[in-house]
Amino acid sequence: MLSRLTNLAIMFLLFAYGGIALASERFEYTDPRFPEERQDTDRPIRTRSVVALEKQLRQLEEQLAQLPSLESRIAPQHEYFGYLSTRHPVSSTNDLMNAWINLTFSGKWTDDVDGMALVPAYYPSFSAEENYGFPKRFRIDVFSHNSPDVPITIVDWTKEDFPDPGLHPVFFSFPEKDVKSVKLTVTKGISEGNFQFFALDELMVFQRGNNVAPPAYQRLTASDSYDAPPYWKLQYLTNRRIHVGNYYHTFHQTEDFIQYFDTEAITFNTPRITIDLGSVRSVGRVEFYPAKIKDVPIPEFGFPLKYQIALLTEQNGQPVTESQIIEKTAPSRMRWHALSSNKGRYLRLSLIDLPRHNGLPVFAMGEIRVMGRQQNQINNFATEKNIITKNFPQDTPADTALLVDGFSNGRKIIMERSFIQQLAERKILEKELAEARHRLVIARATRSSYFWTIGISGGTILLFSLLFWIAYQRAARQRALMNLRQQIAADLHDDISANLGTISMITRRLQQDTSPSLLKQKLTEIGHIAQESFISVKEIIWHMDSDVVYLSEMFEQLEKTAGSILSDCRVECRFPSPQGIPVPAKIRRNMMLLMKEALYNCAKYAEAKHMLIEAEIQDMILKLSMKDDGIGFDPSCTLVASSDSGRGLSNMERRAKLLGAELEVQSKPDEGTQVTLRIPLK
């Protein structure tokens, strides 16, 4: 049984080790959501520890929190979707198309262009999650003023499909270049039946952080265009109306300008806001960022229903340029109006009609930006400039500095390039975040499987170990029982059987010779033999009943045995204080048999009247001595060596050898005998 359990335990240990190794091994997996990443690398993506992935996840979430959010799903559905090409046929032998868009700049002020962006078209009727018609293969070339006919390719995705950007902008950065015109060539679009097409919301060209593509002096042409105003038109490609939110901010905690008016007070007195630019400036456009009123679900609720913009060189003079009354504009997070680079110092905003909130007219504005060119760079001339109000409440005026503090709706307004670039970066981080979450799910499942495997394997190993230990203990008990049986049989053979044989021989002799002197002698001898047998039986029973025997108990048993054997002799014992030292069965058995042999020799031959038994322990060595005052003997005498006492000495030497002990016998005729035994107890 023990051998069978051992084999089973070994087999299971090998199986458990293999299972643990398989569960803990890093393995390759493929994420179907990102197949293009698997094609870009020959190195398999392997699982990392759960702690490392959780840390990476937190870092990615922190980075995303600092970037602007894509707001296509929450922004109102505006009418200007962007540019849409016509349908191009697709044949079984040729699935390529040749469509292009060309943007040409007037003048030589675009000499330091360093970035471009393509904003995917957002068509809510098509999908709220996916872009509409982003080109699959395309090329972007620029032409300089000095070599207007020589293309410089800055982006080339004509050999393979461009990864789907979703609704996020796609940003391309390159070293500063002198740009006369930009050409986008699309060689493969989105298939729809036997036709293909492409669409874009916005084409952006960046110079020092500003988008210079919106029309002023630019000329926009295309190989073809599907025009369906107010939804699709070529000119919508650079109109600055983009679905990504038009926020241009990152998060920052600030307040916005919110002013309530008395209805009667503004009926005949139009409120006006005038921004002093400090000097005459060439103004290209003005931007308005509506603010959100608390507890009002519509973000642009506080924007004027009707308003008018004017640019003046003198505060109370005639306008250099003045717009018509503007009303019914499409909802937008940011609204802008071109001023065609007219020169002026004061920008005036007239609030002709305002929405009502809680029965009162309200004006809510996050920021007003007056954009113009200065030293070949577009700047905001209104930043922290002086603001003059007219027909505003005197008792509870709002802080007009909030209109030019650079913040709107709790976010800092940043340059268009930074905004678009951060949105493009957000797409990459969101992709990394999705993959990190996917890896974390796998890593957690792997860790859970690993721990389950460890637990089950460990539990089974523990169970098999327990069964093995039980079987081992049972086998050990069986071996101990067998040893005990062999020991009892040996003791019975050595002592009882020999004694009974001696008694049998004596009785047969008495049957032949019944003289009184011989009868008395032999009866005395039979009595000694019976006493020896009785003591031996008691010793055997004591050994069987005692599992653990301490040295102090051995001393007590030795004293009893000596008193029983030396019944005609005074026995004196000098033992040390009680010792809690356990004595193994083998040592106690052979020691007791050796000492009994010495006691029997004394009882049979010494004729002693006094026996002194002493013991002492030093360095776990037991020194045990027995000294009598009997007739003694000469250990070297041949007669002694051939007598029964001689055989007793040889038995004592054999027992001492089994104990690994030192035996010393000292005796002289008429001077008694001393037996000394030194036994190691370790």
pLDDT confidence band for 387 (50 / 70 / 90): very high
Hey, what are 666's tokens? 């000292």
How many Cβ atoms are within 10 Å of 192's Cβ, its own excluded? 11
Inter-residue contact 122 to 72 (CB < 8 Å): yes
pLDDT over 80 at 515, yes or no: no
Q: Using CA atoms, how far apart are residues 532 and 455, in angstroms rounded to an integer?
A: 62
> Which CATH number applies to 83-238?
2.60.120.260
In a 3-state reduction of DSSP, which class is residue 50? helix
Hey, what are 575's tokens? 């033992």
pLDDT attached to residue 267: 85
Percentage of the chain lying above the pLDDT 70 cut = 79
Average pLDDT along the chain: 81
pLDDT attached to residue 25: 44
Same fold flag, 83-238 and 249-412:
yes
The CA-based angle 67-70-72, given to 5 degrees, is 165
Phi, psi of 426 (to 5 degrees): -60, -40
pLDDT attached to residue 123: 87
- Of 50, 100, 145, 152, the residue nearest 437 (C-alpha): 50
- Of 654, 649, 660, the residue nearest 620 (C-alpha): 660
Task: Write down the residue that tokens 């499909």 correspond to.
Answer: 161
- Of 500, 516, 517, 496, the residue nearest 508 (C-alpha): 500
Order of strands, edge to edge, in the sheet holding 137-143? 152-157, 137-143, 181-188, 99-104, 219-222
pLDDT over 60 at 642, yes or no: no
pLDDT attached to residue 4: 58
665 or 80, which is more confident? Answer: 665
How many Cβ atoms are within 10 Å of 444's Cβ, its own excluded? 14
Task: Write down the residue that tokens 């110079």 correspond to.
Answer: 207
Span 103-130, pLDDT tens digits: 998 765 677 889 999 999 998 888 777 8
pLDDT over 70 at 371, yes or no: yes
pTM tops 0.75: no
Pick the CATH number of 249-412 from 2.60.120, 1.10.540, 2.60.40, 1.20.140: 2.60.120
Inter-residue contact 41 to 479 (CB < 8 Å): no
Domain-wise residue ranges, the chain: 2-67+420-472, 83-238, 249-412
- Please state whether the peptide bond connecting residue 230 to the residue before it is cis, i.e. omega within 30 degrees of 0: yes
- Of 19, 18, 14, the residue nearest 464 (C-alpha): 14
In a 3-state reduction of DSSP, which class is residue 491? helix
> Cα separations (Å) of 2 from 396, 463, 469, 565, 681?
96, 15, 10, 46, 32
- Which range among 27-36, 360-369, 453-462, 491-500 shows the weakest confidence by mean pLDDT? 27-36
Inter-residue contact 168 to 426 (CB < 8 Å): yes
